[in-house]
Chains A and B, each alone.
Chain A
Amino acid sequence: MSTATTTGAREHARAQGGTVVECMPTVPASTGLTWEETIPGGGYASKRLARGTTLRLTDVHGDACVSVLVFNADEPWERLNVADTVKVLWQAYVGEGHLLLSDQGRALATVTAGSPDRSDTFCGTTTLTSNSSRYGDGSPHSATPAGRELFTLAAAKHGLTRRDLPPSISFFQGVRVGADGGFTWLGSAGPGAVVELRAEMPVTVLLVNVPHPLDPREEYTCSPVRISARPGKPSEPRDARTPEAERALFNTVDYLTARGLA
């Protein structure tokens, strides 16, 4: 097909429509879902999600590592606070039932599925500097993109900048801390592992899928993660498992009630 003319170029471009690859969004999402997309290793995605939405992540081939940032969708200066998330809830290994707390003493989301052995609240994600040193390049269009560079792009799609990128939490790959404070990298749970997050207020989520900072493998190893989100109901404060979590959910309801959103 010649692309020397407008007509030919248009036909050539339109002929590409309908191509199916492993890593792409399904638009519109399948019936009952509000977001359906597969992110490649070295990729990112973002979305605004309604309160009550359950965001399901599936490690398709067993080498995904998804770092997550969550913002209050309407007031993005309220965002994930990893230190509060571990300190207030007295637990660093984040699994089912753990809340992702904002810097305003409220729950942004609840982890409703996922292994505490395969999450990491300590090491964040990688930088241009660290990936350039390890793999030779960390820029977004390289073969070895750094997590912070991808977060910067995802944030920009929502009017946010590098100043808006606090430490993130990662899922599907775990670390353990020894008595001396040292790390042991646990790696992946394997293919088919699932993480689910329930939005407790309207949120913006940024997701990057890149190798864990402590991944000892020489090769940049990261495989796709499947996203499927469905509408649902937020958590009830009375179902909270700890007094700290109950107060966080009450604070969230208090905030949303004042805004006319609950």
Chain B
Amino acid sequence: MTTVLDQIVPARAPWSAVIRKGQTLTIEDLAGNQAVDCLIYNADDTAERYSAPDTVAAQGTIFLTTGSVLRSSEGNPLMTVIGDQVGRHDTVGGACSRESNTLRYGQHTKHQHACVENFLIEGSRWGLGKRDLVSNINWYMNVPVDPDGSLGIVDGISAPGLTVTLRAEMDVLVLVSNCPQINNPCNGFDPTPVRMLVTAP
């Protein structure tokens, strides 16, 4: 096992890397309950990208954990969750944006940091634009669905040092926003750094 990348993503910052087929990405929640918003693309054809609906329909459940196959918009496996110390992760809640924040919390949040801003600035380095953003994964975020359909981001179930590990099933571009959200419990109202470790077999 060789280390390809070992990087700290500061609180609120974006991150991206190409992970080659067979390599693994481990995300470590250094301080606990930090939401890590994540989009995945076929590195050779970014028109093929992570699809939350194809993923949840194929596995029959909305929660992601060990064994979850992260499927593309074309139904192909992008990555597989091969290790998870938390138990479940969200792919329903999407990313925070300046615009959606104005609806959720009020117009005073318009100029705060938001994940979509991270996705746009980091994606622009790879030729990706706004039309390339779709419903994403939120590692470590807890979004239960009540029997009446009510749902929302509630207190997390992660803790300092817990990890989730993904194996690339094709060459993929992984785009991350280390969520800057300060208005809801996804980060315990306090964004913190995470560690990204890429290894090759």
Contact = CB atoms under 8 A, between A and B. Distances in A.
B73 A105 contact: no
Interface string B50-65: 0111101110111100
Nearest to B151: A92
Contact of A161 (B47, B58, B95, B107): B47
Given A105-B102, A244-B103, A125 B53 contact: yes
A29 B116 CA distance: 41
Interface stretch (B28-36, B131-139, B165-173): B131-139
Interface in B84-143: 88, 92-95, 97-104, 106-107, 116, 129-136, 143
Interface string B38-56: 0000000011100111101
Contacts of B60: 182-183, 214
Contact of A167 (B134, B148, B153): B134
A181 B102 CA distance: 29
Q: Describe B's contact surface by its main secondary structure.
A: loop
A129 B13 CA distance: 35
Interface string A76-94: 0101011110111011110
B37 to A, nearest CB: 11
Interface string A150-190: 00000000000111111110000000010111110000000
A122 interface: yes
A127 interface: yes
Contact of A104 (B61, B75, B99): B99
Contacts of A180: 61, 63
Contacts of B133: 103, 166
B201 interface: no
Nearest to B65: A181
By size class, the interface of chain A is 35 or more
Interface residues of B, number: 52
B100 A84 contact: yes
A87 B152 contact: yes
Given A127-B73, A163-B47, A88 B150 contact: no
B131 A83 contact: no
Contacts of A167: 51-53, 134-135
Contacts of B150: 90-92
B6 interface: no
Given A124-B52, A163-B46, A163-B47, 16 more contacts: A82-B135, A84-B100, A91-B151, A92-B145, A103-B100, A123-B57, A125-B53, A161-B47, A162-B73, A166-B133, A180-B61, A183-B56, A183-B62, A244-B104, A247-B107, A251-B102
Interface of B: 46-48, 51-54, 56-58, 60-63, 73-76, 88, 92-95, 97-104, 106-107, 116, 129-136, 143-145, 147-153
25 contacts: A82-B53, A84-B100, A87-B100, A87-B151, A92-B145, A92-B149, A101-B103, A103-B99, A104-B99, A106-B99, A122-B62, A124-B51, A124-B53, A124-B57, A127-B73, A127-B75, A129-B76, A130-B57, A130-B75, A164-B131, A165-B73, A177-B145, A179-B144, A183-B56, A247-B102
